[in-house]
Homo-oligomer: A and B are copies of this chain.
Amino acid sequence: MADTKKPAMSASKAEILDAAAEVFMRLGADTASIDDVARQLGSTKGRIYHHFPSKGVLLAEVCLRAADFVLQKVPPVIAPDAAPEENLRQMVLTHIPEVLRTLPYHKVIIQSYVGVQQKSTTALERELFAQIQQERKAYENLFRNVLQAGMQDGSFRTQNTSIAMQSLLLLINAPVFWYRPRADEPETFVAELSAQLADMALASLR
């Protein structure tokens, strides 16, 4: 495996990624123009093209950051000695709030999950999208492993693992499709939502 360093992103670059995620979410990554992102920043194209060589790379880095968010939060809550059910519950309870905290990023990466093949003309873009796919598979395997462990020790019923994993992942990402933060929303809403989805997820496997 190659180096898995974090290049320590500059503040300006992070600000651009935030704006891009916001705009790509609202207009769609294809429809939105670089000028749209610049307008969201209150600046011009020059700033963006100074930090990113192309629109495709900008999009790829938004998606990559989306994957990184959950990959930094979820693995630490997995306890090797804990029961699969408890592990899965903690994973879901960690995943959902983190996803909703960084919602625009995940709304963007989900656009690519629909199966639209990236055009990816340049080599750098292809490399980045390959890296995204790799991180996605790594994240999937976290869930696949806990699923298999649960089926082995009898806490989960035996069924096709791939189908169960895909369904589970989509279930815990469901709020990305419909959730919209509201001002009058109770402080505890996200936690309660996560708990309900964790219950549903676990129940669906028993």
Contact = CB atoms under 8 A, between A and B. Distances in A.
A124 interface: no
Q: How large is the interface on A (under 10, 10 to 19, 20 to 34, 35 or more residues)?
A: 35 or more
Closest A-B pairs by Cβ, 10 of them: A30-B30, A204-B204, A28-B116, A170-B174, A200-B204, A167-B174, A30-B31, A203-B204, A166-B178, A111-B114
A41 to B, nearest CB: 20
7 contacts: A27-B117, A30-B31, A107-B114, A159-B196, A159-B199, A170-B170, A171-B204
A76 interface: no
Contacts of A31: 30, 116, 119
Interface in A146-171: 159-160, 163-164, 166-167, 170-171
Nearest to A159: B196
A80 interface: no
B159 A166 contact: no
Contact of A167 (B115, B117, B200): B200
